[in-house]
Chains A and B, each alone.
Chain A
Amino acid sequence: MDIIVCMKQVIDLEQLRIKPATRQPVVEGLPVLLGDFEKCALEEAVRIKEKGGGKVTVVAAGSGKLQDTIKEALAIGADEAVILTDPVFQDSDAMGSARLLAKTIAKIGAYDMILLGDGSADNYSGEIPPRLAELLGLPQVGGVREIEVLDGAVRATRDLEDALEVVEVDLPAVVAVTSELNTPRLPPLSAILKAGRKPLHVWGPDDLGIAADEVGAAASVVEVLSNLAPVQDRKGIIFEDPEEGVGKLVKALQQEGALEE
């Protein structure tokens, strides 16, 4: 079974800082990594390949740093990677990104399943899987926490608010997964060393037949007016002595009306 896994390079949010004066996030210069949900998608693809054969191709868009970041995906077990790092592609909105991925997948050619994360680690909008499925004319299943490959179909367990729903979808299909699906492996050193020798393609607008006004900021239909940390108006009263602190806390909570006196 040939599987395409779409991954996103995101900034390391653990290291994100907020400028206190302006509430602006400082994203410049932060390290980048592959999102956790997409790693689960990749792990699942590699497990399916290990069991039944086939090929796993990773597609990822992002900055030039992807040349390095993507090696982790190849070390985990992808056979080949296509990265989309052309400046023309930067700052695409969800529609532009989906268009870019759809063109890339069309160029790759035959596949049985497309696996993605249910949302990216940074904005978790979840827009790409449904948009990609629509562009490729495929069925989609999202919120998937279990996958079983059948003959010509996939059985997926969808995680809903109050129920688990098991559905069968004819292949090819787009499947978006949650982190409950599996625990991605940590590749051994030997796999990391071998990753550098696996095929890595860098495709630009000419390779994909995509015009500059179809992607990037120019094609965006969602305009971000502001992106700031929320105003925090918490009291911030911290008792540093645990002995005294308990009594003071109880008293404060009584005054707040959160505890009966």
Chain B
Amino acid sequence: MSGILVYSELESATLGLLTKGRELAAELGKPLAVALLGEEAVGWKDACFAHGAGQAFVANDPALDVFQAAAHAAALAQIVARAEADIILLSSTRRGRELAPRLAQKLSAGCVTDAIALSLQDGQLVVERRALGGNTISASVITSPRQIVSVMPKLFDAEPGGSGEGEVIEVALELEPSATRLVERRSKEAGAVNVEEAEVLICVGRGLADEGDLSLIQDLADALGGVVGCTRPLSHDNHWLSEDQMVGLSGKVSSPNLYIGLGLSGQIQHTVGIMDAKLIVAINSDKNAPIFRVADYGIVGDLYQVVPRLLEQLQK
């Protein structure tokens, strides 16, 4: 029993995991395989081979039509057995977060979800994830014979490599009918604001006194070619901004070139979402606000005084 198996319901994540898996497989001297579930995923097989997969285990079953962790975990467990895999890499999408622990339990295996780094130390896979509400990063090894890791989406970029050739293996699954029925799926209103991809991100917090003052924040974002994000109270309590704009632990994660935090204290629940920003700027009237401790530059001052002056300077 020795091999690496990759699975995600997204093609981009599958190829990113294969790219990292290829590196680990080479160092460990293990084969690298991919599981492709459903009709659409079978179409990714050539791309998977181009990213280092030596085997593609393909399977389909009506029980997999609607996502149900029980069925998907059962399918993957059967493929894991067939592939003789001991390291299973999944993506930590919403679906992956439901799937990884269920698969782990089915295999009596240890699991680490939401991994932010994978490395090898003395031939052992070391997995890092954020812990204690984002205050710390823990590094763990899984000591059960099989190891399940779900990796944060977009952590690894897909880069082609390997021989480019591989073998397709069809697996006949034995699954129970699903206990889950799809009623409807509706796209979230495509918010015009995409904080995840922003180059410049202006976040505002409770220092904003009135919803009408958002125009001031938007003016600054426009002047810098950026977008507006916020902390949880503004989106979830006040509903001044959409939930899509909330940055932090239970919201979006962003890595802009420039982040400016306005009138927000910098609780870890928020700052965990901007830790990878290239430059962090903080403007807050409380000089003891935690945001200044993670900032590159800061101004101690009220946003209502600082932002108009900043706009003035930028327009010069």
Q: Which residues of A contact B (CB under 8 A)?
A: 13-14, 16, 18, 25, 27, 93-95, 98, 121-131, 133-135, 138-143, 155, 158-170, 173, 176, 178-180, 220-230, 232, 234-243, 245-247, 249-250, 252-253, 256, 258-259
Contacts and interface: CB of A to CB of B under 8 A. Distances in A.
A148 B100 CA distance: 26
Interface string B84-104: 000000000111011111101
B183 A168 contact: yes
Contacts of A246: 299, 306, 309-310, 313
Nearest to A140: B69
B268 interface: yes
Contact of A163 (B140, B188, B236, B306): B188
Contacts of B129: 125
A72 to B, nearest CB: 20
A122 B132 CA distance: 4
Interface stretch (B24-32, B202-210, B286-294): B286-294
B180 A141 contact: yes
Interface of B: 66-70, 73, 93-95, 97-102, 104-106, 108-114, 126, 129, 131-133, 135-144, 178-188, 224, 236, 243, 249-250, 257-258, 267-268, 275, 278-281, 287, 292-302, 305-306, 309-310, 313-314
Nearest to A135: B105
Contact of B300 (A220, A239, A252): A239
B300 to A, nearest CB: 5
B139 A226 contact: yes
Contact of A227 (B98, B137, B305): B137
The 9 closest A-B pairs by CB, nearest first: A242-B301, A221-B110, A130-B102, A245-B299, A134-B105, A127-B101, A130-B101, A13-B133, A221-B144
A253 B297 contact: yes
Contacts of A249: 281, 297, 299, 310
Contact of B102 (A93, A131, A225, A253): A131
Nearest to B196: A161
B113 to A, nearest CB: 5
Given A227-B137, A232-B294, A167 B279 contact: no
Contacts of A228: 136-137
A201 to B, nearest CB: 26
Judged by DSSP, the binding face of B is: mixed
Nearest to A231: B137
B275 to A, nearest CB: 7
Contact of B94 (A94, A133, A160, A247): A160
A159 to B, nearest CB: 7
A167 B183 contact: yes
Contacts of B249: 124
Given A142-B98, A245-B301, A250-B310, A238 B295 contact: yes
A33 B180 CA distance: 34
B313 A250 contact: yes
Given A164-B186, A250-B314, A170 B97 contact: no
A95 B110 contact: yes
Q: Could you say which of A126, A178, A220 has the most chain B C-beta atoms within 10 Å of its C-beta?
A: A126
A170 B180 CA distance: 7
A222 B142 contact: yes
A49 to B, nearest CB: 24
B299 A25 contact: no
B257 A130 contact: no
Contacts of B293: 232, 236
Given A95-B105, A162-B187, A169 B179 contact: yes
Given A16-B135, A163-B188, A222-B112, 18 more contacts: A94-B111, A123-B131, A129-B101, A130-B102, A133-B69, A139-B178, A143-B97, A160-B95, A164-B186, A165-B182, A166-B183, A173-B179, A221-B143, A228-B137, A235-B296, A237-B296, A239-B298, A241-B300
A239 B305 CA distance: 14
A127 B113 contact: yes
Contacts of B294: 232, 234
Given A140-B69, A245-B301, A250-B310, A236 B137 contact: no
Contact of A13 (B113, B135, B181, B250): B135
Contacts of B113: 125-127
19 contacts: A13-B132, A95-B111, A122-B133, A124-B114, A127-B113, A130-B100, A133-B69, A139-B178, A141-B180, A158-B94, A162-B188, A167-B180, A180-B243, A224-B140, A230-B137, A242-B300, A252-B297, A253-B279, A258-B257
A140 B102 contact: yes
